[in-house]
Structure 1
Amino acid sequence: MNAKPTSSPNDSGQPSDDVRKPRSDGEQSRERLLHAATRLFGQQGFSKTSTREIAQAAGTNVAAISYYFGDKAGLYQACFSFMCAEPGAAIAAFDQPHFTLRESMQGYYRQMLAPLMEKPEEADVMLRLFYREMLEPTGLWAMEVENNIKPEHRALVALICRHLGVAEASDDIHRLAYSIPALCIQFLISKDVINAITPHLLSTPQAISAWSDQLVDFAEALVYAQKLKLQRKA
């Protein structure tokens, strides 16, 4: 359990202002710890990153980690919660019954690329943390798969089935549902290569938006190709 700042009631028996409104310096200290820890955990892994190192990078003391997060494991888990969307939030962005296929794909890639468009430095840090967790698993990546990625995959499969007019997902449709996010994941993990060869393709939010538009085109084409394949079989 993450430890949270608390304070006592005042003489009237009512909660003090510190309870109703978190102290701004406390919130800033907590966020500095989260940002510093996410960066260091992503660079070095959980086991090789010390609480003292995190506190020093955040400009605070080690006791603040215990105060806000309980221990290093609590801080590590909080880093994932801080970076990840709430379960279901991503699904709502693309799985709406009134959406056309294109509108669904626009919502899908928009939520995947939002961190890169809004806060590119934080997006890089988040990706490094995910990569590190996959290389040196602590169990949090398995939780992320179970709580977020698996439901998103199921929602995407159901959406594809709906647009293809089929009642049950075949292996081909599951493969298609894995390929659609893979287009974007490949883009994200290849950013260093893209920057080395064609840096202008990543230089502005408008450039990232152009990527998003083209990914939508690609995803639509994949779904229509699957539809044509089903028609030929029929």
Structure 2
Amino acid sequence: MGISENSETETPDARSRLVMSALRLFAEKGYKAASTRDICEAAGANISAIRYYFGDKAGLYRAAFTEPMGDTSCGSNVATYADLPLAEVLGRFFSEFLEPLKKGEELGLVMKLHYREMIEPTGAWQQEIDAEIKPQHEALASLLKQHLGLRRIDADLHRLVFAMIGMAVHFYVGQEIVSAISPQILSAPKAVDVLAERLAGYAVAMIAGEAARRAEGGIHEE
């Protein structure tokens, strides 16, 4: 291919090209069927670049599975601005959570790869749950526990957190449905920002509703 053995270290974007090529091929073919040779050819990189940047094919797969979504630690960062008004905290949370929706085709490939991972599991989802999703959930649950003045995090608080995050998740897994019914909702970066603002407002209302339910004696602890 005309690329020297060590040229990857001299090409700043070689790593990103490998990640994007891997994302596309893993999404289209799956982990087993997508060869490292095909990925390197698509990226214009030497086969040794995978070992240099990622260690092995599994490391490249993990990078393709997680990195194109950007920083997904928004939920676990909630504690860093927990002193702000609740509506502002949630506004920041949803804004960061929905930021990848501005990526267009790239996000489509990420979702396709995530669906494929569910069918042909490699363990990447469990790693994502442990490293990102569970800490995100726990951070929001702790925030709401404090806001509602609860002694502990009970099952109803978990339900509330799942419901809040689920509102945002739907716009990832249901992109085609949203686009078919109301395409303007995800049509531009500004539209995604408005969506984040609205979801924060809905979440505040959900939290207020839960507070009222508990105040009326409708507590159902498990």
Distance in 2 separating the partners of 1:151 and 1:69: 25
Structure 1 counterpart of 2:88: 103
Q: 8 Å contact 1:95–1:159 — kept in the other structure?
A: no
Q: 8 Å contact 1:95–1:156 — kept in the other structure?
A: no
- More displaced stretch, 149-158 vs 191-200: 191-200
- More displaced stretch, 37-46 vs 119-128: 119-128
Gaps of 5+ in 1: 8-17
Identity of aligned residues (%): 35
Letter in 2 for 1:58: A
Q: CA 1:228–1:89 in 2, change beyond 3 Å: closer, same or farther?
A: closer
- More displaced stretch, 201-210 vs 90-99: 90-99
Deviant stretches of 4+, over 3 Å? 83-90
What TM-score do the two structures reach when normalised by structure 1? Answer: 0.81
What TM-score do the two structures reach when normalised by structure 2? Answer: 0.85
Structure 1 counterpart of 2:17: 32
Alignment RMSD (CA, Å): 2.5
Candidates 194, 197, 211, aligned match of 1:213: 197
Q: CA 1:143–1:37 in 2, change beyond 3 Å: closer, same or farther?
A: same
Q: 8 Å contact 1:93–1:111 — kept in the other structure?
A: no
Q: CA 1:220–1:191 in 2, change beyond 3 Å: closer, same or farther?
A: same
Structure 2 counterpart of 1:78: 63
**Post-superposition shift, 1:6?**
8.2
**Residues 56-89 of structure 1, C-alpha deviation per residue, up to 9 Å, x if partnerless?**
2212343332343332112112324523556855
SS in 2 for 1:153: helix
Structure 2 counterpart of 1:181: 165
The 5 A counterparts of 1:47-62 are 47-62=32-47
SS in 1 for 2:169: helix
SS in 1 for 2:216: helix
Structure 1 counterpart of 2:144: 160
Distance in 2 separating the partners of 1:128 and 1:51: 19
Letter in 2 for 1:64: A
How many pairs are equivalent?
Answer: 214
Letter in 2 for 1:218: Y
Structure 2 counterpart of 1:151: 135
Candidates 206, 211, 214, aligned match of 1:230: 214
SS in 2 for 1:233: coil
Distance in 2 separating the partners of 1:93 and 1:158: 10
Structure 2 counterpart of 1:13: none
Structure 2 counterpart of 1:66: 51
Gaps of 5+ in 2: none
Distance in 1 separating the partners of 2:66 and 2:156: 33
Greater relative CO, 1 or 2 (CA 8 Å, sep 6+): 2
- More displaced stretch, 75-84 vs 159-168: 75-84
Structure 1 counterpart of 2:179: 195
